[in-house]
Amino acid sequence: MPSTSLPTPPRLVRARELKALGWTDRRIRAAVAQGRLVRLREGAYCDPTADPEVRMSGSVGGRLACVSELRRLGVFVVQHDQLHVHVVRTAARVRAPKGPHRMHRRALLRVPHPDALSVEPLDAVFDGVLCQAPRAAIATIDSALHLGVLHPDDLEELFAALPRRFRRLRRLIDGRAESGPETLLRLILRSLGCMFEVQVLIRGVGRVDFLVDGWLIVECDSEQFHAGWDAQKADRRRDQAAAAQGFATYRPIAEDIMWHPEAVRAALVGLLALRPQARRVADAG
């Protein structure tokens, strides 16, 4: 698991707690005016470093949830175009947040701290699976495992709670995936029925994302890690070193993997069809 620490869970600060520590109403108002506290609603505040979506959720008496909370934690989600907020089922006349949003009212799998401004990670993943397409849901679970947001032992509880139709996804999960596009590409390769290995170390080249049929290297390229000429030069030299050993390399960009998977699939089909033909030409010679 990566050693990178996860974002600190956001917490609510109640006026009565501040007053128990000796704060006066005047001091609280001054802290808000100076930006040292953020007022969420009557008698409720939070740290000014809290994520804007956390603040918006807290302002309506809810907690950040689903793909909104997953994105805050750094977990991969394919699309996040609205705020997801969880409110307790018994909450009456909840004020809706501004802008596109979705309110979740189900009973949570794990009860968060009373002052928590976000749901527990397991609940965020649970709703993230329900709110996304199956391939995106698999990528989200992979990402949560890889980052340590979700523990492997949590999978049993997660899939026991999910509707039965989602249980078929479990065998497709692989926490070794280092990015969402890598998971999505793995699913494309599975659909082709080809043989492939994940995270393969090739001498003189380094570790590659996929080695397909023993000869085709497939790398998932994203702007985050492959932008700039220096990074591109390093990639091309890796490809050159691989070519010297008889490997071909295909580098689909993350944008196409996520939004145009049919184009990536077609490219892989075309490439994989070449190898047998090349062998026949060599044999004929």
Digit-coded pLDDT (tens) for 148-173: 999 999 999 999 999 999 999 999 99
In the structure, what pLDDT confidence band is assigned to residue 131 with cuts at 50, 70 and 90? very high
Q: How much of the chain, in percent, has pLDDT values that exceed 90? A: 82
Which pLDDT does position 4 carry in this prediction? Answer: 53
Residue 281 above 50 pLDDT? no
Question: Using the 8-state DSSP alphabet, how is residue 205 labeled?
Answer: T
Domain boundaries, the chain: 51-172, 180-284
In the structure, what pLDDT confidence band is assigned to residue 276 with cuts at 50, 70 and 90? low
All residues at 6 or more sequence positions from 277 whose CB lies less than 8 Å from its CB, including other chains: none
Question: Using the 8-state DSSP alphabet, how is residue 166 labeled?
Answer: G
The CATH T-level fold of domain 180-284 is: Endonuclease; Chain A (3.40.960)
What angle is formed at CA 189 by the lines to CA 245 and CA 221, rounded to 5 degrees? 65
Residue whose C-alpha is closest to residue 122's, from 151, 147, 84, 143: 151
In the structure, what pLDDT confidence band is assigned to residue 229 with cuts at 50, 70 and 90? low
Residue 280 above 70 pLDDT? no
Average pLDDT of the residues in 102-111: 95
Query: For residues 177, 178, 182 and 184, what is the CA-based torsion angle, rounded to 10 degrees?
Result: 60
Condensed to tens digits (0 to 9), the pLDDT of residues 24-63 reads 999 999 999 999 999 999 999 999 999 999 999 999 999 9
Bridge partners, residue 222, by sequence: none
